[in-house]
């Protein structure tokens, strides 16, 4: 599980800076995918905002030191939307799933393990891709019922309703 904290949006040049696990090339690429999708869909997110007026900084922490930070594209999108709109992401929420540059949401790989890690990290809310519903039986009922679960199929729509 990766915790993403956003330093916020400051007057800037529309650039993204990343800190934390910056030596992981796959994770960095995932962040870029989320950010590029964010830039490409800005008119759906905040049509009145001028992208170049902001600078974005995301800080990543691998909470379990698992080096499994390869599904952070959607989390990056949610973080950027939160920064731009000045809307906080819900506390103790885990965003599961990843997306392609075209916005296609991929199901969670190994849902049972991901849910268990979220529980151990203190999450109480989970955003889960609709395509992962078929994997819910792999998660123990005792564990699954400890979460408030929301499903999504469109990354931007879910990102905008995170408050």
Give the Cα-Cα-Cα angle 154, 126, 102 (nearest 5 degrees): 25
Looking at the structure of the chain, the number of domains it has is 1
Whole-prediction pTM value? 0.79
Of 59-63, 72-76, 95-99, 113-117, where does mean pLDDT reach its minimum? 59-63
So what's the pLDDT on residue 1? 45
Domain range enclosing 44 = 2-160
- The average pLDDT across 31-42 equals 88
From CA 21, how far away is CA 29, in angstroms rounded? Answer: 12
How does pLDDT run across 112-142, given as a tens digit for each residue? 998 998 898 899 999 899 999 999 999 999 9
Token pair in block for residue 69: 């930070």
CATH of residue 61: 3.30.230.10
Question: Which SS3 state, helix, strand or coil, does residue 161 take?
Answer: coil
Question: Phi and psi at residue 80, in whole multiples of 5°?
Answer: -65, -40
């Amino acid at each position: 599980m990766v915790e993403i904290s956003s330093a916020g949006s400051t007057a800037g040049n529309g650039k993204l800076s990343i800190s934390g696990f910056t030596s992981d090339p796959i994770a960095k690429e995932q962040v870029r995918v989320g950010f590029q999708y964010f830039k490409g869909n800005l008119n759906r997110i905040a049509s009145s905002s001028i992208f170049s007026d902001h600078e974005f900084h995301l800080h990543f922490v691998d909470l379990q030191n698992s080096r499994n930070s390869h599904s952070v594209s959607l989390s990056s999108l949610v973080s950027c939307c939160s920064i731009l709109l000045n809307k906080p992401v819900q506390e103790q929420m885990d965003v599961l799933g990843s997306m392609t540059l075209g916005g296609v949401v991929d199901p969670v790989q190994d849902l049972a393990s991901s849910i268990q890690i979220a529980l151990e990290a203190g999450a109480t809310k989970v955003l889960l891709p609709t395509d992962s519903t078929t994997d819910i039986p792999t998660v123990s009922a005792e564990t699954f019922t400890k979460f408030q679960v929301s499903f999504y199929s469109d990354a931007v729509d879910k990102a905008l309703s995170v408050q």
